[in-house]
Structure 1
Amino acid sequence: MKINNITYDSPLNETKIQTNSNDPIKESKVVVLQPIGYPFICNLVETPKIEVFDKELFELYAKEQWEGFTAKEGSFLFDQKLLPDYAFKVIKAHPDESKITKNTSILLIEFQETEELKKIETNVKINDVIGQEQAKIKCKIIMKYLQDPDHFKDWAPRNVLFYGTPGTGKTMLAKSLSNELKVPLYLIKATTLIGDHVGDGARQIHDLFELASKTSPSVIFIDEIDAIGLDRKYQSLRGDVSEVVNALLTEMDGIQQNYGVVTIGATNNPALLDYAIRSRFEEEIEFKLPNEKEREEMIQNHIKSMPLEVKVSWKKLAYLSKGMSGRDIKEKLLKTALHKAISDDRSIVERKDFEYALKNQDKEKNEPKGMFV
């Protein structure tokens, strides 16, 4: 039986994964499960909701039936005791494809968008991020801390706020930090922490930090943090997220002493944040729009990987892209011009293609940017 390219020994009642590797399987440090129900039996079977009130008891129950099994991200474990054939998806295994033992921590988490917990793979390095020198310096300090958390102790860089115009590299830099150190990165949008029921968001916050602590050293990156941390004067926009805010404040205060965990928040406008949250960040780092020299470097790098030849001076493009973020340069200037050339069945990206892209950009901003001369 195959599910998502994972092969199982027999249908549903056996969950050991077949592996072709001859390498010894490592011991699982932590395994995160999401209750799925009965997706592979039939739609007529009612899926009971799993609620765990005693995490230690669930962990003992899980180890009793799955000790010795291999946990691989994206695979499934099936209950054979209280709820026969009930499926649990492995959202996170640290390290991935490792064996569950009596020492493994097993967590049950129900994030609204569990894809946020999937392993983020990227080849981006800190030096690949053009500009943002102040932020890169801070990230080097964070790297030194994560390499030896015990050495820093109370002097650790724990909560940092990235802010600035969208598309200037906040998320990209966080990904590069994780890639450089080969540590888990938990990237989550704040909007997914707002649950349908009272207490959902707070539980998700505590579960997230518990997971990060168990897999430390690790990085938590909370994007669009203003979605839950708006200033109280914007109460009508903020909604009922007080329990989420209180949970986040508790974790950021370090009451549980989450050594080896760095929390990075990201927002486009820090002035909108509630003071209680903003004051928890030891440092605020602004991400600025690229200057002309930085735009030149960005455009040069992107043009090298474009599938069609570009017959326009990258210096001219850098000049005309003033006021654009790095993301806008790639998505709204270069990509739009490329797609225009492809749609016209041409093998070269020409000046008229970039004029078309700039005209579209001018319409969005409702202001003239200038044309080629």
Structure 2
Amino acid sequence: MIDIVRTAQKTSPKSNRESNSEPSECTAEFLVLEPAGYPMASILDEYPEIADPGVFEHYAREQWNGCTAHKGDYLFDGRMYPDFAYKVSDVEPPGSIIGLDTHIIVRDTVVSSAPAIEFRSDVTFDDVIGQQSARRKCKLIERFLESPEKFGKWAPRNVLFFGPSGTGKTMLAKALANKAHVPIIPVKATELIGEFVGEGARQIHQLYERAQEMAPCIIFIDELDAIALDRRHQELRGDVAEIVNSLLTEMDGIVERPGVCTIGATNRTDTIDPAVRSRFEEEIEFTLPDEKERLAILESNVQTFPIPVTDIDLKAISKMTEGLSGRDIVGKVLKTALHNVIIEDRESVTQDDLLASVKKLKNIQPPSNADRMYI
């Protein structure tokens, strides 16, 4: 009926020593708690406010019934706010058991919000090879983040990055934040899908509230199609109307959040709900690298190899890797070749190693419909 909770010091040597001289089987007369927070900070933390002490006391007694309480222990909520911790600041008698008659008091310690967590990026535009059109369009966002007060209602609040996987959408967003000297909150869209009804909408609201505290700021939502699924496809993963409506509310600017820019990223524009897509004032396309850009990707990454390269022709490799993204070239061509050399205890990477990894990759590439899905 009630979730079993954990105490931090139940079996600690100190607690055992103390319990030798204290009653261990009697029921606590009263218990004084202090809100302690979550075990790990998160940008989406929400701290509980106790509206009715009587209701909370009844709930707490049932949840922690039978737990032994020592001063300094932590009691964890297992239902209302999972993993939220309360620290035992006093218990009488010491080391007694929480029962259904124990009087539980929560001190008026104010824990109004989690500390602002700023994600500063060290990625620069020099790290992004190619995507000249996307970089040019991003100058508008850069100007906005540098002086949001100048834009007013003309601010680029919602921008969509779209294109094949591995073409630098995340990197460019981080480089943009670095160039404008603002924090970026990177979020996987799947992290915003809650387990219970209403939880996903609450998390989106908290995300934007935190961004407002950090403004000017970028919210980068990767894999946007995971929460902004077209209603024609909703039967594939259940009803997402609640999440979509919450996101639309934030993107519409019904609640003013000056200086907050939402960048959504997807490689499946065909599955995004039209209502969500229409909220993006600007769409910026990312394309697969051409031969010159593939050569630049190869050259810049080979220079960072931990072992030497000998007799390699990167121009030939760049011609052979047509249709691959930058991430594929780095992760599936260069890294595969390097790892094979290390496994075989050889002293250098050769052209044959690169050719072998390209051949292996080309052989396993599945056929795709370029009009419907990106590689």
TM-score of the superposed pair, with normalisation by structure 2:
0.69
Task: Determine the C-alpha separation between the residues in 2 that align with 1:292 and 1:249.
Answer: 40
Structure 2 vs 1, CA of residues 51 and 106 (structure 1 numbering), >3 Å: closer, same or farther? Answer: same
Q: Measure how far apart 1:218 and its partner are.
A: 0.2
Which residue identity is paired with 2:144?
Answer: Y
> For each residue in 1:233-275, what CA deviation from the matched residue of structure 2 results, as whole angstroms up to 9, or x when unmatched?
1121141221110000000000112110000001101111111
| Structure 2 SS opposite 1:192 | helix
Structure 2 vs 1, CA of residues 329 and 118 (structure 1 numbering), >3 Å: closer, same or farther? Answer: farther
| Structure 1 SS opposite 2:262 | strand
Structure 2 vs 1, CA of residues 33 and 142 (structure 1 numbering), >3 Å: closer, same or farther? Answer: same
Q: What pairs up with 1:195-234 in 2 under 5 angstroms?
A: 195-234=194-233
Conserved? CA contact 2:228–2:244, under 8 Å: yes
Which residue identity is paired with 1:107?
Answer: S
Structure 2 vs 1, CA of residues 145 and 338 (structure 1 numbering), >3 Å: closer, same or farther? Answer: same
Which residue identity is paired with 1:222?
Answer: I
Which residue identity is paired with 2:269?
Answer: P
Structure 2 vs 1, CA of residues 51 and 78 (structure 1 numbering), >3 Å: closer, same or farther? Answer: closer
Conserved? CA contact 2:74–2:88, under 8 Å: no
Q: Measure how far apart 1:180 and its partner are.
A: 1.8
Task: Determine the C-alpha separation between the residues in 1 that align with 2:185 and 2:222.
Answer: 11
Q: Measure how far apart 1:159 and its partner are.
A: 0.4
Task: Determine the C-alpha separation between the residues in 2 that align with 1:82 and 1:163.
Answer: 56
The corresponding residue for 2:329 is 329
Q: Which runs of 4+ in 1 moved over 4 A?
A: 31-36, 49-52, 76-83
Q: Which has the larger radius of gyration?
A: 2
The corresponding residue for 2:77 is 48
The corresponding residue for 1:273 is 272
The corresponding residue for 2:173 is 174
Q: What pairs up with 1:1-373 in 2 under 5 angstroms?
A: 33=45, 47-49=76-78, 106-107=112-113, 119-311=118-310, 312-366=312-366
Q: Measure how far apart 1:132 and its partner are.
A: 1.1
Task: Determine the C-alpha separation between the residues in 2 that align with 1:346 and 1:313.
Answer: 19
The percentage of counterpart residues that share the same residue type is 46
Task: Determine the C-alpha separation between the residues in 1 that align with 2:155 and 2:302.
Answer: 40
CA RMSD of aligned residues (A): 3.5
Conserved? CA contact 2:182–2:217, under 8 Å: yes
Conserved? CA contact 2:216–2:259, under 8 Å: yes
Task: Determine the C-alpha separation between the residues in 1 that align with 2:272 and 2:358.
Answer: 34
Task: Determine the C-alpha separation between the residues in 1 that align with 2:80 and 2:216.
Answer: 29
Conserved? CA contact 1:170–1:287, under 8 Å: yes
Conserved? CA contact 2:74–2:86, under 8 Å: no
Task: Determine the C-alpha separation between the residues in 2 that align with 1:32 and 1:198.
Answer: 17
TM-score of the superposed pair, with normalisation by structure 1:
0.70
* Matched pairs, number: 290
Structure 2 vs 1, CA of residues 247 and 144 (structure 1 numbering), >3 Å: closer, same or farther? Answer: same
Conserved? CA contact 1:228–1:238, under 8 Å: no
Conserved? CA contact 1:219–1:263, under 8 Å: yes
The corresponding residue for 2:17 is none
| Structure 2 SS opposite 1:337 | helix
- Comparing 313-322 with 188-197, which one deviates more in the overlay? 313-322
Structure 2 vs 1, CA of residues 147 and 294 (structure 1 numbering), >3 Å: closer, same or farther? Answer: same
| Structure 2 SS opposite 1:305 | coil
Structure 2 vs 1, CA of residues 199 and 80 (structure 1 numbering), >3 Å: closer, same or farther? Answer: same
> For each residue in 1:207-252, what CA deviation from the matched residue of structure 2 results, as whole angstroms up to 9, or x when unmatched?
0001101110000011111011111111211412211100000000
Q: Measure how far apart 1:201 and its partner are.
A: 0.2
Conserved? CA contact 1:162–1:170, under 8 Å: yes
Structure 2 vs 1, CA of residues 77 and 147 (structure 1 numbering), >3 Å: closer, same or farther? Answer: farther
